[in-house]
C-alpha cells in the first residue's frame, strides 16, 4: 500500500502556502523540501519532475514537503521575482524542521527556477546537509553567490537542454570544483531536454543513486 501524503497549508511570509507533506513514522528520519519551476512559466508543485523527486525522497525514507510558491495554486500572495520565493522556501524548511525535531539529515532540492532558490537557500541555512539542483540555469541567473558553496550536493543537467548552454554548466562546475571541502557531483542525463521529456526514468535513476549513496550511513 502506497503511503498517503497530506494536503496542507503552512504559514508563509505572504500568507498561507499550499503544500503536500508526508511524515515518516520512523524516528530520526531525514527531511527534504522540493522547490518547483518558475511560477510565471507554469511552474507548480504538480510539475512532473517535482513529483518524481517527491516520490523518490518519500520512498528513500525521508519526511518530505513540496509546496506552491506565493501566488501559485491556492498559495496567498503574488510573484516576487525570487526574493519572496526564497522567503517562502525558508518558511517551508522552518516548518518541516519543527515537525521533525529528531531529523538526521536536511536536504533541499529544486528544479529549474527551483534549483536557483535551492542554491540560494543553502547559502543561508548551515543545517542543510545536502542538495539536489535539477536543470539550473547559470546562463539566465547569476550563481556567483556560491562563494563558497557551503555544502555538498548533486547538480543534474541535460546534454540537449534548449534553455541552458553547455558552457554555462561547465563554468558552474569549474567554479565549485575549485572550492575545498565540498563535493558537488555534476550528473548528465543524455539525450534529454530541459524538462527531461521521455527521460524521467533516467533522471530518477540518476538522483536515486546519489540519494542512496549519501543516506547509506544514516
pLDDT per residue as tens digits for the range 20-32: 999 999 999 999 9
Phi, psi of 90 (to 5 degrees): -65, -40
CA distances from 76 to 65, 68, 107, 146, 190 (A): 18, 9, 25, 30, 38
**What is the pLDDT tens value at each position of the chain, 218 positions in all?**
567 899 999 999 999 999 999 999 999 999 999 999 999 999 999 999 999 999 999 999 999 999 999 999 999 999 999 999 999 999 999 999 999 999 999 999 999 999 999 999 999 999 999 999 999 999 999 999 998 999 999 999 999 999 999 999 999 999 998 888 899 999 999 999 999 999 999 999 999 999 999 998 66
Q: Are 83 and 53 in contact (CB under 8 A)?
A: no
| Residues 216, 150: Cα–Cα separation, whole Å | 22
What are the boundaries of each domain within the chain? 6-215
**Top-level class of domain 6-215:** alpha beta
Percent helix / strand / coil, the chain, rounded to 5:
35, 20, 45
Candidates 33, 17, 189; CA nearest to 118 is: 33
Question: Residue 81 region, left (φ>0) first, then alpha (ψ -120 to 50), else beta?
Answer: left
| Residues 130, 211: Cα–Cα separation, whole Å | 9
Take residue 205 and report the three cell numbers written for it.
Answer: 535513476
Phi, psi of 133 (to 5 degrees): -110, 115
Amino acid at each position: 500500500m502506497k503511503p498517503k501524503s497530506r494536503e496542507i497549508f503552512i504559514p508563509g511570509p505572504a500568507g498561507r502556502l499550499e503544500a503536500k507533506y508526508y511524515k515518516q513514522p520512523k524516528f530520526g528520519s531525514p527531511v527534504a523540501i522540493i522547490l518547483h519551476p518558475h511560477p510565471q512559466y507554469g511552474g507548480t508543485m504538480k510539475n512532473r519532475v517535482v513529483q518524481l523527486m517527491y516520490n523518490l525522497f518519500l520512498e528513500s525514507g525521508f519526511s518530505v514537503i513540496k509546496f506552491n510558491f506565493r501566488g501559485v495554486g491556492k498559495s496567498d500572495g503574488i510573484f516576487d521575482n525570487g526574493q519572496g520565493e526564497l522567503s517562502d522556501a525558508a518558511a517551508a524548511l522552518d516548518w518541516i524542521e519543527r515537525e521533525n525535531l529528531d531529523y538526521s539529515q536536511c536536504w533541499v532540492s529544486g528544479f529549474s527556477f527551483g534549483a536557483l532558490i535551492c542554491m540560494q537557500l543553502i547559502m543561508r541555512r548551515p543545517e542543510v546537509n545536502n542538495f539536489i539542483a535539477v536543470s539550473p540555469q547559470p546562463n539566465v541567473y547569476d550563481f556567483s553567490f556560491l562563494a563558497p558553496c557551503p555544502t555538498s550536493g548533486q547538480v543534474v543537467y541535460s546534454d540537449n537542454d534548449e534553455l541552458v548552454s553547455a558552457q554555462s554548466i561547465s563554468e558552474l562546475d569549474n567554479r565549485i570544483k575549485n572550492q575545498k571541502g565540498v563535493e558537488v557531483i555534476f550528473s548528465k542525463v543524455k539525450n534529454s531536454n530541459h524538462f527531461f521529456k521521455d527521460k524521467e526514468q533516467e533522471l530518477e535513476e540518476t538522483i536515486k543513486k546519489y540519494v542512496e549513496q549519501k543516506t547509506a550511513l544514516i
